[in-house]
Homo-oligomer: A and B are copies of this chain.
Amino acid sequence: MAVSGDEVKLLGTWASPYAIRVKIALGLKGVSYEYLEQQLRENKSELLLKSNPVYKKVPVLIHKDQPICESAIIVQYIDEVWAGVGPAILPSDPYERAIARFWAVYIDDKWFPATIKIIKVKDEKEKAEAIEQSFAGLSLLEEAYKKSFKGKPFFGGDNIGYLDIAFGSFLGWVRAIEKISDIKLIDEAKFPLLAKWAERFGSVTTVKENIPKTDKVVEYYSKVLKALWNA
């Protein structure tokens, strides 16, 4: 089902997990939108600077000329505005909503910052700590899946939902980090539930369309990010 987006624009960059969240959510709801790929760091567009003056960052969703910033907030906005359209993104039960929000915040504040550090830091001790923290986070998520979501294909139940999107948006990067560092993070032996979840998540249409290919991310890291991080 294609839904008229009432002039929906998305400012993003192809490699941004946060922009990918918004693309997945819009895809789930079947909302059509104009996508405007942004330049990072230098040459930021006037539209981006005007739409997100506080952070000057992607993603920004512009709906009926009103900008909405911050991926978690945008995904909730999409779920609320197109509430009757497509599957619900947040669970309907308040406790399940709280649990999904809790882990989404944990992933953003703790797990992904540790995980990206694996390829970002040079110091071997710092790298070892980052690996340990990333694995500790995956253990918590495996445990959470077992406790709260077991028997369901997704954190969101029968369909992907808020937590699936929050976590799964990083899968392109996780695969790239695994390849660059030669460390299997979502290891089937260690995290059987998460490994199977990741496979199922990756096969959902709106995800397949939006998660970048591992090799493309690895190349982007090698040719662009490495130089920026070392600058």
Additional A-B contacts beyond A68-B98, A80-B94, A81-B94 (10; CB < 8 A): A54-B140, A63-B95, A69-B102, A70-B101, A70-B105, A73-B98, A73-B101, A74-B98, A76-B98, A80-B97
As a 0/1 sequence over residues 38 to 57 of chain A, the CB contacts with chain B under 8 angstroms (1 = contact) are: 00000000000000001000
Q: Which of A77, A97, A102 has the most CB of B within 10 A?
A: A102
Residue count of chain A within 8 Å CB distance of chain B: 21
| Interface assignment of A181: CB less than 8 Å from any CB of chain B | no
Number of copies: 2
Which residues on B sit within 8 Å (CB–CB) of A4?
A: none
Chain B: which residue is nearest A52 at the CB level? B102
Q: Is the CB of A102 within 8 A of B73?
A: yes
| Sampled A-B contacts (14; CB under 8 Å) | A68-B95, A68-B98, A68-B102, A69-B102, A70-B101, A70-B102, A73-B98, A73-B105, A76-B97, A76-B101, A77-B94, A77-B95, A77-B97, A80-B94
A98 contact from B54, B77, B98, Cβ within 8 A? B77
